[in-house]
Structure 1
Amino acid sequence: MAKQGKTARELQVLVSEWLGMPFGDHRSEQIKILALNDTWRAMSARHDDQPDFRNNVISASILLSERYTLED
């Protein structure tokens, strides 16, 4: 399957929808950034006390990396 190009805003909407968060929720923006920068591994160790947040970032990272690329 070829990856689709999406803008940063489109990717944030996708993350919000996947995680059931309202668009504009600061967590969806943070999750999108961590997922796109592939920094979720480093972040994951710092958020052991927040397993739901950590799992959301990991899930979003996998989905974004498998399906999408960031467009300008």
Structure 2
Amino acid sequence: MRLGQVMTEDIVEGTDGYWFDNNLQEWANDGWDTTGIRNYLITREEYATEALVRIDYLISACEQLITRMSHEWLH
């Protein structure tokens, strides 16, 4: 399966079938360089879901750290 290709039998009703692409696009819109992530997910598609969940966790952790480091009390 390629990113962006929806496997209709795998889609749970009421969910978005383009989960991978939507997450990558959202991160790109937030300023993250997703080229390497996209390439990794394509070349290791059997681990893509687990990898994307881990990447989501890491990006969230980075964003929280950026927020903490930008507090005025640090200046």
Which TM-score applies when normalising by structure 1? 0.30
| Larger Rg over CA atoms | 2
Structure showing greater relative contact order (alpha-carbon pairs closer than 8 Å, 6 or more residues apart) = 1
Between Structure 1 and Structure 2, the one with more strand by share is 1
